């Protein structure tokens, strides 16, 4: 099995841009899609990125995703930060036998 490692927390000011990383421990990050979920306090998760860089309907284009094979990692970038973006963010991927979530990153917008 593999792991997805995320920073525990990040913080940035409103209007700025923040990037959250997600590093895959084994197996190629490019071999399987990476999804990203936002979970606001007290709410269930919602998808903000799927298939590495696709946005579900209704997700603003301030959210973008990418993968970097050289570092075997995926990234979620949020530009034009708003206070409503403050939440926990989880990356998720899979291999032939299991689905894995990253440990989550708490984003503080201050």
- Binding residues for other proteins, per CB under 8 A? 1, 32-33, 35, 37, 39, 44-47, 50-51, 56, 88, 90, 92, 94, 97-104
Is the dihedral angle over the CA atoms 73, 76, 79, 84 positive or is it negative?
A: negative
Q: How far is the CB of 44 from other proteins (least distance, A)?
A: 4
Whether residue 24 contacts residue 70, with contact meaning beta carbons closer than 8 Å, is answered with no
Nearer to other proteins, 5 or 13 (CB): 5
Q: How far is the CB of 15 from other proteins (least distance, A)?
A: 28
Nearer to other proteins, 18 or 91 (CB): 91
How many Å apart are CA 41 and CA 54, to the nearest integer?
A: 24
Nearer to other proteins, 70 or 76 (CB): 76
Cβ atoms within 10 A of the Cβ of 104, count?
20
Q: How far is the CB of 76 from other proteins (least distance, A)?
A: 13
Q: How far is the CB of 106 from other proteins (least distance, A)?
A: 10
């Amino acid at each position: 099995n593999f792991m997805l490692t995320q920073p525990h927390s990040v913080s940035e000011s409103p209007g700025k841009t923040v990037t959250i990383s997600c590093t895959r421990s084994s197996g190629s990050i490019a071999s399987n899609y990476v999804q990203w979920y936002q979970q606001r306090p007290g709410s269930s998760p919602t998808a903000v990125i799927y298939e590495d860089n696709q946005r579900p309907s209704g997700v603003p284009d301030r959210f973008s995703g990418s993968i970097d094979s050289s570092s075997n990692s995926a990234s979620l970038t949020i530009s034009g930060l708003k206070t409503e973006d403050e939440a926990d963010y989880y990356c998720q991927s899979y291999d032939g036998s299991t689905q894995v979530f990253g440990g989550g990153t708490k984003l503080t917008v201050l």
